[in-house]
Structure 1
Amino acid sequence: MDIDLRKLRYFVAVAEELHFGRAAARLHIAQPVLSRQIRAFEHELRAELFVRDRRSTVLTEAGRQLLADAGPLLASAEALRRRVQRAAHGRQTFTIAFMPGIIVTAEARAIAQRHPELAVGVVRTSWDDQAAVVREGRADVGYVRLPVDQRGLRLRPLFTEPRVVVLPGEHRLAGKESVDLAELAEERLLQDPDAVPEWRDLPNRPTDPEPRPRPVLTSVEEKLEHVAAYAGVVILPLSTARFYTRPDVVHVPVGDLGQNQVCLAWAENNRSPLVREFVDIAAQRAGDVGAPMPGGAGSGRSS
């Protein structure tokens, strides 16, 4: 059986909204049309995806499984479309994605020098989209910081670096040589806890009777603005904290936090020789003993 990608996109919209009306508006189609498409999709799959009544729409076990698998499949299809379009429109391109604090100039130059006909570009990513940019084909490779959703990706570990807590300049811990994670238990974390999994296991964290929603901050600059305003703290890799210096915040090493792992990621179905070549370039530079890490701390990597 072939999977109809259009119906799969319709299903994802309904599964994420859990409301046919909102999903239809999001897809810019009429609600009766969407309902017919979902029923047809269920018939093709021979599985009920939703339990529906007048008041609610709930995913079945089959629906939850399909939603879990749909993202990488749709991303793979989008990446295929992008690669075909690029191949059909002239000059070959190669795009490198990178996270804040990571400098990729040397690697970009290396691949460009080997292939003068290649248009090499770079794109900055964030915690929220670092994997999607690669899965969807917006970049051929990406420097990602773990943890990351690895579905649909292949990873090559490159280097590690310490993590630090960023504090307001006059914070009670600002002058310390280092802190332990437990000393931060009373602080408000301004970023997605999935980026700092150890935060969830902090003992003796006070319970806020009126918990404030975590602000949606997509850039390092936004996070630092909130830190400087005493709205909370963030945990960053050392190179990122050093790259985005400002006079009203400081960073302090967190002694009992493990190192941040940086990997090169590419779509598992992207078999371009250029990707394999770039992986070798990146791995060789990561193993260049004695070269400084971005931001100045030693890690055995140069860029």
Structure 2
Amino acid sequence: MTADVHLRDLRYFLAVVDAGSFTRAAATLFVSQPALSKQVRALETQLGVRLIDRRPGGLVLTAEGEALVPHARRLVADWARASDEVRRAGSVPTLVVGMQTTVGRDLTRRLLAATRERGHRMQVRLISWSDPSAGLADATTDVAFVWLPLVAGDLEAHVLLREPRRVALPADHRLAGRSSVDPAELADEPFVALPRSAGPLRDFWLGGIARTIGAETDSAEGAIEAVASGSGVALIAEGNARLLARPDVVCVPVPDLAPCELALAWRRGDDREVVRTAVAALTAGS
């Protein structure tokens, strides 16, 4: 197996095998069917073989696909066990927190205070939008700050806050001086989009408005840079508009769009103390 194969590719392949359908597997993984098909094709390209044949009666594994299944299951399971054992090996338990950009809003401070109070350590990992689960899907993080909708299966989530969405525009844009913008006024604008692998999350941040994609980016900072360069406009949470503020970008409210929801997410059934402490710290009383 080449070094370029990622655990996510193997997880996606196994999901298709178990579901017997790209459509059902995509629904289970909360990704779009085209994104799932693209990942499986990428895995086939990396391995240099065809793994799945599409036939009128359904999907059929090739001989190579059949050979890969037990190895893929073992690799995915071994990684999950290895990640858990490594974290348990240290004398001080460590909570690994995933996020796609600076969260602010006093959330990381509260989480850090709670982990320290229990004698735990906290490590933050910035994850690109190409993994919208922020590391939860491949067990490289323990909890994560994610924007809903969830795009990976077998996760629990608790909504922490709801915020209006704004549209980020170049400072010299025709709408930059407005106090608010109607979604219809953005229909002809090119949009900066999340990667296709983000599935329904990409669709949410396009707001049901976009007809043209001007650029794709795998980070919030990259989206703001693309807006500043004139590649397109981008929808952004009100709080992130403040966190990512810069003089060449203006963020205008779009009040007719549904608000966005920031949540704390974790793997269903993960009852380790560091995870329980983190969840309790941010969900108590809410």
Q: Structure 2 length normalisation: TM-score?
A: 0.70
Secondary structure of 1:131's aligned partner = coil
Tell me the matched-pair count: 242
Report the equivalent of 2:217: 217
Secondary structure of 1:135's aligned partner = coil
CA distance in 1, matches of 2:137, 2:43: 27
Report the equivalent of 1:43: none
Report the equivalent of 2:142: 140
CA distance in 2, matches of 1:181, 1:76: 45
One of 188, 198, 204 as aligned partner of 1:197: 204
Report the equivalent of 1:91: 92
Give runs of aligned pairs for residues 109-258 of structure 1, distance below 5 A: 109-116=112-119, 118-192=120-194, 194=200, 195-197=202-204, 199=206, 201-202=208-209, 214-258=214-258
- Letter in structure 1 aligned against 2:93: Q
CA contact (8 A) 1:75 1:135 kept: no
* Percent of residue pairs bearing the same amino acid type: 27
Closer/same/farther in 2, CA of residues 18 and 106 from structure 1, 3 Å limit: closer
One of 37, 47, 53 as aligned partner of 1:50: 53
Unpaired runs of 5+ in structure 2?
1-6, 15-36, 67-71
How far residue 199 of structure 1 moved from its aligned partner, in angstroms, is 4.3
How far residue 277 of structure 1 moved from its aligned partner, in angstroms, is 2.3
Secondary structure of 1:108's aligned partner = helix
Report the equivalent of 1:61: 59
CA contact (8 A) 2:241 2:251 kept: yes
Higher strand share: 2
CA offsets per residue over residues 18-71 of structure 1, 9 Å max, x none? Answer: 785x3425xxxxx6xxx8xx6xxxxxxxxxx5259xxxxx994366xx9xxxx9
How far residue 114 of structure 1 moved from its aligned partner, in angstroms, is 1.9
Does residue 17 of structure 1 match 2:11? no
Closer/same/farther in 2, CA of residues 234 and 59 from structure 1, 3 Å limit: farther
Report the equivalent of 1:108: 111
- Letter in structure 2 aligned against 1:136: D
Closer/same/farther in 2, CA of residues 183 and 159 from structure 1, 3 Å limit: same
Which structure has the bigger radius of gyration?
Answer: 1
Secondary structure of 2:135's aligned partner = helix
CA distance in 2, matches of 1:72, 1:162: 41
- Letter in structure 2 aligned against 1:109: L
- Letter in structure 2 aligned against 1:16: V
Report the equivalent of 2:81: 80
Closer/same/farther in 2, CA of residues 267 and 11 from structure 1, 3 Å limit: closer
CA contact (8 A) 2:206 2:235 kept: no
- Letter in structure 1 aligned against 2:108: T
How far residue 228 of structure 1 moved from its aligned partner, in angstroms, is 1.5
CA contact (8 A) 1:158 1:262 kept: yes
CA distance in 1, matches of 2:145, 2:11: 31
CA contact (8 A) 2:189 2:233 kept: yes
How far residue 119 of structure 1 moved from its aligned partner, in angstroms, is 2.2
RMSD (Å), alpha carbons: 3.8
- Letter in structure 2 aligned against 1:274: V
- Letter in structure 2 aligned against 1:50: D
Secondary structure of 2:216's aligned partner = coil
Closer/same/farther in 2, CA of residues 231 and 198 from structure 1, 3 Å limit: closer
CA contact (8 A) 1:96 1:108 kept: no
Unpaired runs of 5+ in structure 1?
1-5, 26-30, 39-48, 53-57, 288-303
CA distance in 2, matches of 1:159, 1:258: 13
How far residue 90 of structure 1 moved from its aligned partner, in angstroms, is 4.2
- Letter in structure 2 aligned against 1:269: G
